[in-house]
């Protein structure tokens, strides 16, 4: 990772939602992630965050988010501290501003994975150190940096490509809308009625898309959505906090499975993405996730490199 990245660093910025960043800034993050991955494979070390510490607050469980941030911080020379909901008094016996005022005196950055976007925004408001949104119910911004990094890695470009998202209009769909609008990627979401993306998120993304000639569409028919797609993306039908709706959602989304038959309508060199964990046999089949079009585990690996880029540029 060259010094040029640090000269253009986003030092001190919060990473709350993709819409807070320009296309040029997102490009910087993706380029840095590519370079950090390349250097790691070559055995070139980077200690950009030597002596720095990251507090990781989790009120939602995680595999990839925790491991990628913790390992990424270690690889950059820093230290990551895991803080579960049992370890920290987030809105439980202590005000959030008081928690922020305390943590900023110990740490150089905070990553938080939680339910309410308001908690993340308020933490960023009161903490003078960078706050990184590891996921909320409304957006998943760190995930989609890794997603577009993966698409570019396999398709050679971003601008002008088409991404089809099949399933629930959830936090991942929201962040994909935001980043596709900024980076010149056309996106079509296929979802049942009543499960569309948040109207305000969609409208804001369409305003961005109009400036760059990007088409963002929401349809009901998954077959229509994948026509001409360069990438097909899916996620579980019932996210964390929606477990009681699992049986109902399984019925509603039964025709929204990414399978071999659906992929026939996409481009021949289509790639398939999934943010994981996957419910195999529901939103995606074994044949697809383990098949030649799948880049799901490259995508999972790229969480490490994308998160390292975010931390390096915000905290370094």
Establish whether 140 is an annotated binding residue: yes
Instruction: Assess whether 274 carries a catalytic annotation.
Output: no
**186-190/271-274 β-pairing:** unpaired
Active-site entry in 13, 34, 113, 305: 113
pLDDT of 92 > 80? The answer is no
pLDDT of residue 252: 96
Establish whether 56 is an annotated binding residue: no
Write 223-226 long-range contacts (CB < 8 A, 24+).
223/262, 223/265, 224/188, 224/190, 225/164, 225/165, 225/166, 225/188, 225/189, 225/190, 226/164, 226/166, 226/190, 226/262, 226/263, 226/265, 226/266, 226/270
Mean pLDDT, the chain, rounded, equals 95
Do 265 and 230 share a domain, yes or no?
yes
pLDDT of residue 100: 95
Active-site entry in 275, 293, 305, 307: 275
Instruction: Assess whether 235 carries a catalytic annotation.
Output: yes
Q: Does 11 map to a domain?
A: no
Do 39 and 27 share a domain, yes or no?
yes
pLDDT of residue 6: 62
Instruction: Assess whether 191 carries a catalytic annotation.
Output: no
Active-site entry in 147, 235, 305, 307: 235
Q: Does 13 map to a domain?
A: no
DSSP letters, 305-316, are: HHHHHHHHHHH-
Q: What is the pLDDT of residues 106-128, one digit of tens each?
A: 999 999 999 999 999 999 999 99
Q: What is the pLDDT of residues 32-69, one digit of tens each?
A: 999 999 999 999 999 999 999 999 999 998 999 999 99
Q: Does 270 map to a domain?
A: yes
- Enumerate the β-bridge partners of residue 217: 188
Q: To 5 degrees, how large is the angle CA 290–CA 292–CA 296?
A: 55
Enter the pTM of the model. 0.96
Tokens of 36: 């950090």
Q: Which of 13, 9, 6 is nearest to 130 (CA)?
A: 13
Number of domains the chain is built from: 2
């Amino acid at each position: 990772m060259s010094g040029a990245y640090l000269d253009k660093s986003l030092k001190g910025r919060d990473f709350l939602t993709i819409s807070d960043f320009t296309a040029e800034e997102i490009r910087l993050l993706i380029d840095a992630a590519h370079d950090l991955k390349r250097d790691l494979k070559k055995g070139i070390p980077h200690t950009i965050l030597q002596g720095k510490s990251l507090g990781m607050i989790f009120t939602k469980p995680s595999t990839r988010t925790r491991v990628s941030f913790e390992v990424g911080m270690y690889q950059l020379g820093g230290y990551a501290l895991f803080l579960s909901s049992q370890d920290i008094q987030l809105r439980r016996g202590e005000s959030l501003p008081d928690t922020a005022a305390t943590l900023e005196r110990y740490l150089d950055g905070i990553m938080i994975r939680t339910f309410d976007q308001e908690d993340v925004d308020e933490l960023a408001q009161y903490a003078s150190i960078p706050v990184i949104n590891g996921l909320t119910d409304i957006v998943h911004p760190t995930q989609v940096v890794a997603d577009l990094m993966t698409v570019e890695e396999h398709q050679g470009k971003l601008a002008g490509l088409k991404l089809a998202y099949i399933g629930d209009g959830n936090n991942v769909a929201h962040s994909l809308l935001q980043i596709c609008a900024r980076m010149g990627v056309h996106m079509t979401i296929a979802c049942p009625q009543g499960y569309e993306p948040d109207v305000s998120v969609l409208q804001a993304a369409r305003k961005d898309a109009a400036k760059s000639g990007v088409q963002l569409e929401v349809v009901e028919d998954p077959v229509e959505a994948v026509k001409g797609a360069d990438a097909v993306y899916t996620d579980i039908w019932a996210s964390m906090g929606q477990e009681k709706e699992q049986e109902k959602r399984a019925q509603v989304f039964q025709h929204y499975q990414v399978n071999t038959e659906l992929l026939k309508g996409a481009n021949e060199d289509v790639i398939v993405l999934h943010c994981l964990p996957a419910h195999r046999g529901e939103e995606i089949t074994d044949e697809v996730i383990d098949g030649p079009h799948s880049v799901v585990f490259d995508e999972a690996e790229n969480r490490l490199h994308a998160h390292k880029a975010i931390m390096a540029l915000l905290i370094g």
